[in-house]
């Protein structure tokens, strides 16, 4: 198949693109390199440097290439930036996605897969872990823009019969995650530990997240690519881990007994987040296989 991977120079998109190439597909990457890097682009992919918010770029690319599938990972994905710059967040995440959806239906794309977020679309959870039926009450512009995209996908599915796949990722970690900026606590901690610098934990460090290894996320993408119906499913582990425990595992991988420092808690940060992988297990045969300890070991080794 001919597949467009947007955001394929970034962390998750580059792993997904690599897998699709290994499966024998033709992969084109569209990325503006705002947080991604050319070094991440897997051999065999055709790289187009460009912005999903530019309708002329998107129209030109879709007209030339005629994709079978779009796998959309390009995004403004920093929750705090979305709070500071909600207009920019909406421009990239909502209008950029609409550009792609419009061209997808104009050029006969068969399937559109979208990287959404289980952490942000559910908001403060009413029960744990959240399944796909959990109410969606995002508390950040980022969560709102991702949920808006989910609704647009559903509209394009009903109106234009576009096959859609919505993957609600938990906190994804692994090799190639960018440690600069404020997203990606595993990458930030691993980078600090490699440099022998002290790690700062926000607040008491007892806030929890669901950490899923990027290899498992790639496996979910590969299964969803082959699946023949519309899907909305969580890509998480169902396991809640607090930041102090996460640090302890990483420090162990680094062979250090350096203690973390505690900084002020971040205002508005969600306290607990964990999503259930059961639906994906039942419908797709997908289950996360890499334990947190193994995943953190692999991630730490990739930062050395
Ligand atoms: N990392 C996580 O824990 C996580 C969790 C939930 C959802 N997601 C979603 O998964 C996707 C990938 O996230 P990631 O962690 O790999 O982030 P990333 O920042 O590494 O990747 C995003 C990529 O998109 C590119 N990009 C950004 N704006 C663009 C634009 N306007 N035009 C073209 N390219 C653009 C960036 O250069 C980068 O390469 C995002 O949609 C994100 O919202 C990630």
> What residues in the chain have per-residue pLDDT under 50?
none
User: Same domain for 44 and 150?
Assistant: yes
285 within a domain of the structure (yes/no): no
Do the Cβ atoms of 114 and 97 come closer than 8 Å? yes
Question: CB-based contacts of 284: which residues, under 8 Å, 6+ apart?
Answer: 220, 223, 224, 227, 231, 233
Q: Which of 47, 77, 183 is the pocket-test mutation for ligand 1 (most atoms within 8 Å of CB)?
A: 77
Q: Is the CB of 94 under 6 A from ligand 1?
A: no
57 within a domain of the structure (yes/no): yes
User: Same domain for 105 and 244?
Assistant: no
pLDDT value for 79: 92
pLDDT value for 266: 87
Is 122 an active-site residue? no
User: Same domain for 185 and 253?
Assistant: yes
pLDDT value for 268: 78
Q: Which of 8, 9, 10, 45 is the pocket-test mutation for ligand 1 (most atoms within 8 Å of CB)?
A: 10
pLDDT value for 85: 97
CATH number, residue 204: 3.90.25.10
User: Same domain for 28 and 91?
Assistant: yes
User: Same domain for 40 and 138?
Assistant: yes
pLDDT value for 84: 95
Q: Is the CB of 175 under 6 A from ligand 1?
A: no
User: How remote is the CA of residue 34 from the centroid of ligand 1, in Å?
Assistant: 9
User: Same domain for 37 and 144?
Assistant: yes
User: Same domain for 223 and 158?
Assistant: yes
User: Same domain for 74 and 93?
Assistant: yes
User: Same domain for 255 and 226?
Assistant: no
224 within a domain of the structure (yes/no): yes
pLDDT value for 125: 97
283 within a domain of the structure (yes/no): no
pLDDT value for 267: 81
Split into its structural domains, the chain has a count of 2
Catalytic position from the list 142, 173, 211, 247: 142
298 within a domain of the structure (yes/no): yes
pLDDT value for 183: 73
User: Same domain for 41 and 112?
Assistant: yes
Domain range for residue 220?
2-171+212-235
CATH number, residue 77: 3.40.50.720
User: Same domain for 259 and 120?
Assistant: no
Q: Is the CB of 299 under 6 A from ligand 1?
A: no
9 within a domain of the structure (yes/no): yes
pLDDT value for 182: 67
User: Same domain for 131 and 181?
Assistant: no
pLDDT value for 181: 67
Indicate the pTM of the whole model. 0.98
138 within a domain of the structure (yes/no): yes
133 within a domain of the structure (yes/no): yes
């Amino acid at each position: 198949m001919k597949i467009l991977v947007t955001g394929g120079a970034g962390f998750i998109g580059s792993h997904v693109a690599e897998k699709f190439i290994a499966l024998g597909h033709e992969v084109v990457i569209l990325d503006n390199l705002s947080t991604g890097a050319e070094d991440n682009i897997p051999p065999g992919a055709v790289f187009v440097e460009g912005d999903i918010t530019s309708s002329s770029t998107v129209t030109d690319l879709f007209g030339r290439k005629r994709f079978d599938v779009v796998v959309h990972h390009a995004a403004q994905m920093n929750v705090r930036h979305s709070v500071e710059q909600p207009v920019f967040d909406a421009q990239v995440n909502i209008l950029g996605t609409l550009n792609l959806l419009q061209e997808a239906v104009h050029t006969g794309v068969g399937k559109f897969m979208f990287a959404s977020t289980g952490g942000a679309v559910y908001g403060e959870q009413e029960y744990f872990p959240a399944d796909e039926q959990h109410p969606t009450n995002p508390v950040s512009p980022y969560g709102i823009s991702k949920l808006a995209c989910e609704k647009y996908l559903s509209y394009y599915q009903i109106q234009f019969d576009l096959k859609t796949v919505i993957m609600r990722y938990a906190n994804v970690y692994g090799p190639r995650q960018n440690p600069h900026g404020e997203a990606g606590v595993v990458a930030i901690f691993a980078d600090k530990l490699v440099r022998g610098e002290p790690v700062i934990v926000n607040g008491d460090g007892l806030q929890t997240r669901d950490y899923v290894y990027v290899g498992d996320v790639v496996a979910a993408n590969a299964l969803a690519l082959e699946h023949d119906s519309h899907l909305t499913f969580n890509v998480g582990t169902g396991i809640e881990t607090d930041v102090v425990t996460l640090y302890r595992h990483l420090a162990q991988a680094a062979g250090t007994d350096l203690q973390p420092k505690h900084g002020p808690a971040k205002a508005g940060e969600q306290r607990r987040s964990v999503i259930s992988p059961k639906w994906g297990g039942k419908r797709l045969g997908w289950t996360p296989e890499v334990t947190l300890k193994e995943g953190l070991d692999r991630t730490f080794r990739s930062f050395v």
